[in-house]
Structure 1
Amino acid sequence: MDDALGAVVVVVPVRNEEKLLGLCLDHVRLAMEQLHRARPQITVNLTVVLDQCQDSSALVAASHAARDKRITVISVDFGSVGSSRASGIENALAALSSCVPPDRSLHETWIACTDADTQVPAHWLTRTVELAESGHDAVTGTVEPDRNELGETLFAAWRREHRSHEGHNHVHGANLGFRASEYRAVGGFPPVPVDEDVLLVDRLRAHGARILATGQLHAITSGRIQGRVGTGFAAYLHSLDTGTSTQTGRPNS
């Protein structure tokens, strides 16, 4: 099967991220621009999903959307990152189907996921497309917490337990991509408040998807230890801070 891509959709779930969302969207838009320059024939769009936001995240998102017609902003009331990601993806795919050739298959569409507190590199989408077209159905990148926010001692503890090498075993919703065809085949993101990324990759692997774990796509994410939910990445950082982390805890997500 031809692995060439014709479209990329980026989905960013948001829950009260007014302080970090603008920087996130700046970085995603830089990646979109680089992809457009390198591969102008590939359609690229961004969907921002506001989930129960009670701060000014909506204003930040609207400001970016007003300046870039490729950005769509939707509001949901799930309180679940799994449901938020799934809703954003379905919205983006529906919009895409109305403006691309009808014979374009889901196999030709790539879904790129990141988080509102994350800064992706400028080559994030161009390199992802190259990896996808070289024969992969899903790509799991790496992240590291912002060392300025985390502090040197805690950042060193993080580095002791993480390596951004090829074939790593980490899964981060903040740096994850996959073909729309494979995503649909496994039922998409589960409607859960945490670990939706790990569960999806487990489903993809069981389905036989060609998955690449790479350090070539490396993003910077928030180093806060008090997160939006009681578990997840921030909770894992908190466990490092208190010396209670284990290799069987959250480091794979």
Structure 2
Amino acid sequence: MTGRSGVDRVIVVIPARNEEELLPRCLSALAVAIGEVGGVAGRVSPVIDVVVVLDRCSDGTAGVASHWPMFSSISTNGGAVGAARRAGVRHLLPTPDRFTAATWIASTDADSAVPPNWLSVQLGFARNAVDLVLGTVVPDDGLSDGVRERWDAQHRLVEGHTHVHGANLGVRADRYLHAGEFAPVDGQEDVRLVSALRGLRVSEVRTALIPVLTSGRLAGRTPAGFAGYLRDQVVLAP
């Protein structure tokens, strides 16, 4: 398939920094989501490649990743989640000519678990000429009851939501390249990319159909990551 609707290749990029405890949950959930794509009747399944980007890992994350031989892994020393995402994309799409409209880039995180329909829903939107899919996230049981109540009060996870999460984002590869790729920064790389994509006036869908379960911890791996958001905007908010 070619053009702005068909997708014949999907790449999934997962940055990981010291995530030996949560990476098995992430990869198990992703394997299920990949299986769901293959189970769509009457559709030719795209080729799906996954890379775990081991960014300055000093624990057993690399060993965990090695137990999933169907997924590749690379090591980086950038120490920034944006640089890790960018490196993962470049590993699977090494030259500019690989960034075509028929390739879809899906981004999540090692501390997260995608739902079974995560890829199939994104590909459904892509078949309808959508270039950018923004999903929602839901904290796991790491949140205390009081913080959970605050989270629920502040977040309406509905169609047309206003959230941007690198843990739940999909984009057509040519649009991604034209937007300048993920910035090599330690936080807000997802927001920067989406802002650049909107500047290109890409076709966008903001959906609550594919909520990604993510860590509810308040001490995260990056200062500007989701844990920092939970701590500053939910726990410490007046």
TM-score (norm 1): 0.88
- Of the three residues 156, 169, 173, the one matched with 1:176 is 169
1:2/1:210 CA distance change after superposition, 3 Å: closer
Residue 40 to residue 56, structure 1, CA distance change in 2 (3 Å):
farther
CA distance in structure 1 between the partners assigned to 2:226 and 2:125 by the alignment: 26
Distance 1:105 1:141 in 2: 22
Distance 1:2 1:137, change over 3 A: closer
State the AA in 2 paired with 1:45.
D
Letter in 2 for 1:4: G
Cα deviation for residue 40 of structure 1 reads 4.2
Determine if the alignment matches structure 1 residue 113 to structure 2 residue 115. Answer: no
In the TM superposition, 1:170-209 aligns within 5 A as: 170-209=163-202
Give the counterpart of 1:167 among 124, 143, 160: 160
- Pick the aligned partner of 2:218 from 190, 205, 225: 225
Aligned with 2:62 (options 58, 78, 83): 58
**Higher helix fraction (1 or 2):** 1
Match of 1:123 among 117, 126, 138: 117
Q: In structure 2, which of residues 27, 43, 47 is the aligned counterpart of residue 43 of structure 1?
A: 47
Q: What stretches of structure 1 of length at least 5 have no aligned partner?
A: 245-253
1:13 aligned to 2:15? yes
Name 2:74's counterpart in structure 1.
Answer: 74
**3-state DSSP class of the match of 2:170?**
strand
Partner of 1:23: 25
Q: Any idea what the Cα deviations from partners look like across 1:39-63, whole Å, max 9, x if unmatched?
A: 4431111111000000000000011
**1:89-139, Cα deviation, whole Å (9 max, x unpaired):** 0111239x9xxxx9x871000000000000100110011100111121000
Deviation at 1:230, TM superposition (A): 2.2
Residues 20-69 of structure 1 show CA distances to partners (whole Å, capped at 9, x for unaligned) of 0011000011111111222443111111100000000000001112xx2x
In structure 1, what is the Cα distance between the partners aligned to 2:99 and 2:134? Answer: 22
The TM-score, its normalising length taken from structure 2, stands at: 0.94
| Deviation sequence 1:133-160 (CA, Å, 0-9, x none) | 11210000000111x2102210110011
Q: CA RMSD in A?
A: 1.7
Q: Tell me, in whole angstroms, the C-alpha distance in 1 between the residues paired with 2:83 and 2:119.
A: 24
In percent, how many aligned pairs have the same letter? 40
Which whole-Å CA distance do the structure 1 matches of 2:54 and 2:100 have between them? Answer: 25
**In 1, are the aligned partners of 2:168 and 2:212 still within 8 Å (CA)?**
yes
2:230 to 209, 234, 237: 237
**Count of residues paired in the alignment:** 233
CA contact (8 A) 2:93 2:99 kept: no
The letter for the 2-side match of 1:237 is L
